[in-house]
Structure 1
Amino acid sequence: MNETMIGITKLEKALYLMIPPVLGAVLGWFLPVIADWMLMIPIVPFKGPLEFVASFNSYWVSIIAAIIGIIAGLFFSQYIFNEILKVLISDQNVRLLMKEKEEMIEKKEISTVYLENKDLVILGVNGNELYREQIEAKKPLVEKAFKHHGYQWAEEDPFKNKYQRWVADHPHFPSHINALLSARERALQENQQEEAKILRKDLSKLGVVIQDDDKRQYVRMV
């Protein structure tokens, strides 16, 4: 199957692989020096562990800490890779991989694809939102990849004039929709981004499409 993959560039991948382990090694190597310096501060937390580190031979502590720092850096690099969206586009479907999970959307289900700020948005044939997630790839690269496989690309949301500001107990929406939107607005106000993201997906399944503007919700019903 002829697929185009978009995600991070080779240079970005190399930097993600190199920088965290190098930083971990540097911090580990200078750990005894950092511990000695922090012990000079009159009021310092974790004084016991710092004194424990400083009491050992600094050379061996530096070596061991540097190795631990490298390992921790590699784990952090792997975590970053899992958090970055990877998109595999073919003439038949779009596969979206993130956080060790994969979603697949058939081409026949997709009407339009566009970028909103850094979010990749995929709309269904009924105007419903099938997928939304932040993507690291640059817009020209994303646009070229989708167009290459025959997907309809838009420069902006084709329904941008169909949204209306949501307020509590909005008369145009059913009570269960208002309840979910109310819960999502609370999550936005309290900076609970993951909860707001989950509620957006729940609402999308009910035919509700949301645009956020400074913690305000603008909504359209499919």
Structure 2
Amino acid sequence: MSGTKTKIVIRQKMSNRILVAAGFPALGAVAGWLLKLLANWAVSWPWIPLPGPLELINNAPEPTATLVSLLVGALAGGVLVLMAEYGYVTVTIEDDQVTTDRGDSSQSVPRAMIHGVFADGRRLVILGERGEELAVESKNEGADLPSVKQLKEGFQEHGYPWLTEGDPYRDEYRRWVEDMPGLPVGGNALLKARAEALKKQDETNIAELRTELAKLGVFVRDTDKRQWWRHVQPADDQKSNHL
């Protein structure tokens, strides 16, 4: 009998997804109706700026005005549902590799390269032999992770090295300030650009700049829009140092 295990697919619980799919449009419809009531009330204020649009809403016939407000609010909620769906992370654990999928992006890591996996509720990280981050899914980059319990059980079932205590390199991180020493060439510029992306909550740029930093052996984590970094010497440099 083969010892190969069936692959495990871990994703956001269906009950949570249904709650979001039903709740956001409903809340949006309520918000649209409340905004209509606010517009009807605000049109009587003598100091209100740009009264024209408010008067247009106030003079719209009923029940059309109410129906339109409900529909617009529900559609806005539907957009939020689509954004949430795009952010859901699916983790597929197999005997020979681990794959994470989110939106239109996918990361696969062969088992032979994996020397540790941990999650802290905000990040799922797969570590390599030298402490390099082979794959990362982070909430600051728009990822919506399954529960840590689900992830832990899935990885342990397949015998992957799950790090219960979390990041073993947490004490090596240093808070980044502009032009600080110790970073490889180009590291400061990338961290400066990423700091701006964090301020703007530009999830795409935050993720792309993390990838560029990783090419330099620089790995980052974020706390309240502050960046902390550590440097792992590339394998080729390590080999050359021993020649």
TM-score norm. by structure 2 comes to 0.76
Greater than 6 Å deviation, 4+ residue runs: none
1:141 to 146, 150, 153: 150
Whole-Å Cα distance in 2 between the matches of residues 27 and 183 of structure 1? 36
- Secondary structure in 2 matching 1:175: coil
Whole-Å Cα distance in 1 between the matches of residues 22 and 207 of structure 2? 31
Whole-Å Cα distance in 2 between the matches of residues 20 and 213 of structure 1? 28
2:160 matches 1:151: yes
User: Which residue of structure 2 lines up, in the alignment, with residue 220 of structure 1?
Assistant: 231
Whole-Å Cα distance in 2 between the matches of residues 53 and 165 of structure 1? 51
User: Which residue of structure 1 lines up, in the alignment, with residue 240 of structure 2?
Assistant: none
User: Which residue of structure 1 lines up, in the alignment, with residue 217 of structure 2?
Assistant: 207
Task: Using the aligned pairs only, state the percent identity.
Answer: 30
> What code does the residue aligned with 2:9 have?
M
- Give unpaired runs (5+ residues) of structure 1: none
Whole-Å Cα distance in 2 between the matches of residues 196 and 33 of structure 1? 39
Answer yes or no: is the 8 Å Cα contact 1:85–1:136 preserved in 2: yes
Aligned length: 219
Worse-superposed segment, 17-26 or 98-107: 98-107
Deviations 1:180-201 (A, max 9, x none): 34544x537x724434443222
Whole-Å Cα distance in 2 between the matches of residues 61 and 15 of structure 1? 28
Change in 2 beyond 3 A, CA 1:53/1:142: same
User: Which residue of structure 1 lines up, in the alignment, with residue 128 of structure 2?
Assistant: 124
Quote the offset at 1:107 in angstroms: 2.0
- Give unpaired runs (5+ residues) of structure 2: 139-143, 234-243
Alignment of 1:1-222 (within 5 A): 2-30=6-34, 32-134=36-138, 135-154=144-163, 155-164=165-174, 168-170=179-181, 172-184=182-194, 186-187=195-196, 191-194=199-202, 195-212=205-222, 215-222=226-233
Deviations 1:90-142 (A, max 9, x none): 22222222232222222222221112451111112332112222343222221
Quote the offset at 1:41 in angstroms: 2.8
> What code does the residue aligned with 2:15 have?
L
Change in 2 beyond 3 A, CA 1:29/1:152: same
Change in 2 beyond 3 A, CA 1:42/1:109: farther
Quote the offset at 1:36 in angstroms: 0.9
Whole-Å Cα distance in 2 between the matches of residues 69 and 216 of structure 1? 36
Answer yes or no: is the 8 Å Cα contact 2:13–2:146 preserved in 1: yes
TM-score norm. by structure 1 comes to 0.82
Deviations 1:24-76 (A, max 9, x none): 22234455433211212333344211211111212122123323333332232
Deviations 1:149-179 (A, max 9, x none): 2211112222334445556351x44333344
Answer yes or no: is the 8 Å Cα contact 1:165–1:219 preserved in 2: no
> What code does the residue aligned with 1:191 have?
K
- Secondary structure in 2 matching 1:210: strand
> What code does the residue aligned with 2:219 have?
V
- Secondary structure in 1 matching 2:186: helix
Change in 2 beyond 3 A, CA 1:144/1:30: same
